[in-house]
């Protein structure tokens, strides 16, 4: 069997991918504040000589002063600027002095078009920055010591760096705005807002959702939702990307730590936590460690010392997701190719990103039938814990409290969806972000990186590397292909892809496209025999499996519009969608700050951990095989699994009954 990577020849993916190999921003977010003639000159390689603080260098024509300073390792403070977002130039903290010019200039948006001498910390500059900070603090309500962003607040850090030790222009002593707690996922406190507009640019440009906007002018400017409605009543997809880029605490996640501590302290409750791979690859950042280090086994120890009764690996149900989702796709293909069923809907979309699911529901409700009926790994685990596990452990499900440690603020919304009660109870009681979990560990006076390692608990201690790589964009697709290719062709996947690493679906391009010609087929394995009528996969011989990987909802919108127009992606069979840039490792509950380089480092941690495991394919996981034999006896997409592991609230054209 041969494979074909069509990424470089895919015009739509190339034009609309939202990034290249070194950048995962949307096309709008990549725009620089440059005039057309500047762009043309820069494209022709013209360079300009400049001097910054007595340091000489040449830079490409049109480079901003801020970028030039960073090339020299000269620090210029910023607030509204963010590596993921388009230039705004609204906060003015980054002002510098150019010799011969009367006014100070914002370095983030000032293009270098001629030789100049620049001063980044002259007396005028220092005074201006101090006054700007004083004016921000005048309208910034609250005390730092009681703030959720204390010691991780960009405004607080800048005030310290610039010697702010009193409120020069006064300070408001009473809140002007009511805190908006209407959303399960995101809390808005506009009393803390400094009008940097990062959240607006994130929502409009990076994600293309458009929940937030700036209205009015001057000192009457506000950041509002549509008609100033509560966040829980607008089309927010709960992705939390606005939280990750807010420099202060005007936006933060809806924190359930107090309720979880209460459950831990209640002797009548059996409190279980499942942990996803992305928080484990990032939580060390909350303890001063650099991005790119995974603390999976140290975290297990920390969670037990915090008081959780059981610690389970969400990768186990990620393996189940692969079995269920791959089977669902094969059933759809059999119905379409063998039965000639015109009602079968393709391509099939992944359903494990709740932000993406909500985006689809809001903006493309007529295409919901494309969505896999599989629940996310989080929700699959919740349903199993209050049925299968409760029965094995002899515990009344009403006394089980399930907590999910996730990288995603949208998981808080997902676990509160009314259809997520297939166990007869609320399947997952609380969604907890990496930041919140780090807070609990700090509260318990534990030093996570230096704790002794320990394993996950049984009976579901085993999980594969396929489930682990769900955390990175392309990981769900790679995990699915590791299983599907082997099951369909009968050839070991590692004999086709070196080291089991399917590189064409990895990376940070916003959109990736890949084709796999199927030149040989195998018999249908026993575990799938109840879901499929065919005895072999001969109905797929000669076909070309077409897949795509998409991350960030701005890129999702491009692919969806292409599908609606009958374009290239309409001919795909399977598409992975993730709401957040970089996938789960860039989720709205991950440690702050975030940047393209930080997300790449987290991805390296995940792939490195996968490479170290002996078990790397979902269908080879002994725990998965055992649960189908003992509990989900109908096999993947069978009666039992469809009741617990799939959603039933939507009418789907290819639903398996």
Cα 308 to Cα 257: distance, rounded to the nearest angstrom: 13
What is the C-alpha to C-alpha distance for residues 223 and 488, in angstroms, rounded to an integer? 52
Phi/psi of residue 562, each to 5°? -65, -40
Q: DSSP characters for 206-228?
A: IS-----EEES-GGG-EEE-GGG
Contact 391, 352 (CB under 8 A): no
CA distance 408 to 239: 7
Q: How many whole angstroms from its chain centre is CA 414?
A: 14
The helix/strand/coil state of 639 is: helix
Comparing C-alpha atoms, which of 14, 18, 13 is closest to residue 554?
18
> Residue 146: is it exposed, middle or buried by C-beta count within 10 angstroms (0-12/13-18/19+)?
exposed
Distance of CA 431 to the CA centre of its chain: 15
CA 109 distance to own-chain centroid: 28
The angle, 0 to 180 degrees and rounded to 10, between the axes of the packed helices 553-564 and 354-363 is 50
Please write down the HEC assignment for all residues of 33-47. CCCHHHHHHHHCCCE
Burial class (CB in 10 A: 0-12, 13-18, 19+), 127: exposed
d(CA 535, CA 350): 26
Residues with active-site annotation: 325, 328, 352, 372, 411, 414, 419, 584
* SS3 of 434-445: HHHHHHHHHHCC
88 CB-side CA count, 13 A: 22
């Amino acid at each position: 069997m041969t494979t074909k990577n069509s990424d470089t020849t895919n015009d739509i993916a190339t034009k609309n991918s939202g990034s290249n190999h070194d950048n995962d921003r949307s096309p709008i977010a990549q725009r620089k504040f440059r005039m057309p003639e500047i762009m043309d000159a820069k494209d022709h390689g013209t360079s300009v000589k400049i001097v910054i603080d007595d340091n000489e260098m040449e830079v490409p024509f049109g480079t901003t002063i801020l970028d030039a300073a960073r090339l020299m390792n000269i620090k210029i403070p910023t607030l509204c600027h963010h590596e993921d977002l388009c230039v705004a130039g609204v906060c003015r903290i980054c002002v510098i002095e150019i010799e011969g010019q009367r006014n100070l200039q914002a370095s983030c948006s000032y293009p270098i078009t001629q030789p100049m001498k620049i001063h980044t910390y002259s007396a005028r500059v220092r005074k201006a920055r101090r006054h700007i900070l004083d004016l921000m603090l005048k309208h910034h309500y609250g005390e730092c010591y009681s703030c959720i962003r204390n010691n991780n607040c960009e405004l607080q850090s800048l005030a310290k760096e610039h010697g702010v030790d009193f409120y020069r222009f006064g300070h408001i002593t009473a809140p002007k705005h009511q805190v908006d707690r209407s959303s399960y996922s995101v809390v808005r406190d506009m009393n803390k807002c400094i009008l940097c507009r990062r959240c607006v640019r994130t929502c409009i440009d990076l994600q293309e959702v458009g929940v937030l906007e700036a209205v009015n002018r001057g000192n009457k400017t506000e950041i509002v939702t549509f008609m100033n409605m509560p966040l829980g009543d607008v089309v927010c997809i709960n992705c939390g990307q606005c939280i990750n880029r807010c420099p202060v605490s005007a936006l933060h996640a809806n924190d359930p730590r107090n309720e979880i501590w209460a459950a831990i302290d209640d002797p009548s409750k059996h409190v279980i936590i499942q942990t996803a791979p992305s928080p484990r690859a990032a939580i060390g950042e909350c303890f001063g460690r650099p991005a790119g280090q995974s603390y999976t086994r140290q975290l297990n120890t920390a969670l037990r010392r915090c008081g959780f009764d059981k610690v389970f690996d969400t990768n186990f149900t990620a393996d189940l997701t692969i079995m269920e989702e791959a089977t669902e796709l094969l059933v759809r293909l059999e119905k379409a190719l063998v039965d000639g069923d015109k009602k079968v809907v393709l391509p099939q979309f992944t359903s494990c990103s709740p932000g993406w699911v909500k985006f689809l529901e809001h903006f493309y409700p007529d295409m919901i039938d494309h969505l896999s009926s599989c629940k996310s790994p989080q929700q699959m685990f919740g349903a199993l814990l209050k049925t299968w596990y409760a029965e094995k452990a002899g515990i009344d499900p009403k006394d089980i409290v399930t907590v999910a440690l996730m990288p995603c603020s949208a998981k808080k919304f997902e676990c509160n969806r009314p259809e997520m009660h297939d166990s007869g109870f609320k399947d997952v009681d609380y969604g907890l972000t990496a930041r919140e979990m780090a807070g609990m560990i700090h509260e318990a006076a534990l030093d996570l990186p230096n704790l002794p390692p320990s394993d996950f608990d049984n009976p579901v201690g085993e999980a594969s590397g396929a489930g682990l790589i769900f955390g990175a964009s392309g990981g769900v697709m790679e995990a699915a292909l590791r299983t599907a290719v082997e099951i369909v062709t009968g050839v070991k996947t590692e004999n086709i892809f070196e080291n089991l690493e399917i590189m064409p679906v990895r990376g940070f391009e916003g959109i990736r496209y890949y084709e796999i010609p199927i030149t040989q087929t195998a018999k249908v394995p026993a575990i799938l025999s109840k879901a499929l009528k065919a005895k072999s996969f001969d109905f797929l011989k000669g076909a070309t499996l077409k897949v795509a990987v998409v991350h960030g909802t701005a890129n999702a919108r491009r692919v969806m519009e292409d599908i609606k127009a009958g374009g290239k992606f309409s001919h795909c069979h399977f598409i992975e969608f993730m709401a957040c840039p970089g996938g789960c490792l860039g989720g709205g509950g991950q440690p702050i700050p975030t940047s393209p380089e930080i997300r790449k480092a987290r991805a390296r941690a995940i792939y490195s951990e996968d490479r170290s495991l002996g078990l790397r394919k979902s269908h080879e996981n002994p725990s998965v095989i055992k649960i189908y034999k003992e509990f989900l006896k109908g096999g993947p997409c069978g009666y039992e699994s469809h009741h617990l592991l799939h959603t039933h609230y939507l009418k789907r054209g290819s639903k398996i009954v």
